[in-house]
Amino acid sequence: MSDVLPVIESVQGFSVAGVHAGLKKDNRLDFALIVSDRPCSAAGVFTTNYVKAAPVLLDMERLAADPAHIRAVAVNTGCANACTGQRGLDNAIEMARLTAARLGVLETQVLVLSTGVIGTHLPMDAIERGADYAAAQLGTDQWEAAANAIMTTDTRPKMAFTEVTLSSGQTCRIAGISKGAGMIAPNMATMLAVIVTDAGLTPEQAHGALTMAAQVSLNRITVDGDMSTNDTALLLANGASGVVIESPDDLRTFQKALTTVSTKLAKDIVRDGEGATKFIAISVHGAPDDADARKIADAIATSPLVKTAFYGGDANWGRILAAAGRAGVPLDPSRLTLLIAPREDVADLSGDALTLVRGGVPTAYSEEHATAIFKGATIFILLTCGQGDGWATVWTCDLSHDYVSINGHYRS
């Protein structure tokens, strides 16, 4: 597997476009198409919010009915088409129909994604323009335009690309785009992602691979602890490279590459969190089991007190332990160890890593050193519980004044 790149080269059989249809002001791109020249095996993972947007309901239904013949994904921004009743569902269907007519495919072969304000109806004249313009501008080199077109409060596009070498020596490609900056919480987040590959997968393989990848990437991020009505991640596999994933070894290789791509997209979302100034990795080790470790990590990552301390560069580690203690997991404080480091993973804890707490009480650490780490742009937190083999890592960001400003005036 090659390194994951932040720009996308062509993926065989796929063409894309990003255009301005009039959903956003100032001529910003607001409608995207991702199209395969042949049927794809497709899979999706969706928000676990009980209030689901019309496009989520439609895509879930279409993937359940026929996941082996998907040809396109149409994405609009500016309007979530959520809490819009039957009219909203009818508009989602019409969005797919308009797109299918311009591509010469069946309406049931088109999936739709929407993001934006909840409770407003899709402006169908703009959707029709988007379908017209995007179909006319499809190209293999338009990934950045497509990534820009799906943004809402994002400040930059999010892309990931890698090439995978299988046991036969053959290669295939995986590429993805995502959006999201606020209303981000574990169990999908306001997050959209479309990942494509020119490898051949069965629908069952696609579903299994995407579910496994999302569980350790897209479902491990939080910006503000809120969960959207529209969260969707899709995987489309068209087999245009001639590579068919068959052997267990090749499936494992593909899975690793897909997870790396989705992890890059997930981390990009956190780095671009609304008002964020810091990227923070929180790893919990030694919990009773993995599920308990995840609960503890999530409690820390979503704590407003913890997140504002990070924003202020205040090494107030007591907030971290307090959040861990309210996660609903029985903990023995006398076994807790807390370490911080100016990096994003656990690969190397030598050098400037700093242990703040050991045995549940503070060490004789340097306050100046701790403050310097908290003031940095990238921070790693390791909480060791000493009560089992469970572990989990989540990624989050700080909570700043700008987050309040962005969301206090979102509709205006």
Q: 139 near 35, Cβ under 8 Å?
A: no
Q: 329 near 287, Cβ under 8 Å?
A: yes
Task: In whole angstroms, give the CA distance from residue 222 to residue 295.
Answer: 13
User: Per the structure block, which two tokens stand in for 45?
Assistant: 């993972």
Say how many C-beta atoms besides its own lie within 10 A of residue 144's C-beta. Answer: 16
- Helices 318-325 and 290-301 pack at an angle, to 10 degrees, of 130
Task: In whole angstroms, give the CA distance from residue 155 to residue 180.
Answer: 10
Q: 195 near 158, Cβ under 8 Å?
A: no
Task: In whole angstroms, give the CA distance from residue 88 to residue 62.
Answer: 16
Of the candidates 190, 222, 232, 260, the residue annotated as catalytic is: 190
Any alpha helices (H) in 137-202, and if so which ranges? 143-149
Q: What is the DSSP letter of 49?
A: -
Task: In whole angstroms, give the CA distance from residue 212 to residue 183.
Answer: 23
> Does the annotation mark 190 as catalytic?
yes
Residue with tokens 């299918």: 100
**How buried is residue 388: exposed, middle or buried, by Cβ count under 10 Å (0-12/13-18/19+)?**
middle
User: Per the structure block, which two tokens stand in for 327?
Assistant: 């996660």
**How buried is residue 406: exposed, middle or buried, by Cβ count under 10 Å (0-12/13-18/19+)?**
middle
Task: In whole angstroms, give the CA distance from residue 154 to residue 144.
Answer: 14
Task: Read off φ and ψ for residue 287, nearest 5 degrees.
Answer: -80, 165
Task: In whole angstroms, give the CA distance from residue 406 to residue 412.
Answer: 10
Task: In whole angstroms, give the CA distance from residue 182 to residue 222.
Answer: 9
Task: Read off φ and ψ for residue 397, nearest 5 degrees.
Answer: -140, 175
Task: In whole angstroms, give the CA distance from residue 23 to residue 127.
Answer: 8
Residues known to be catalytic: 190
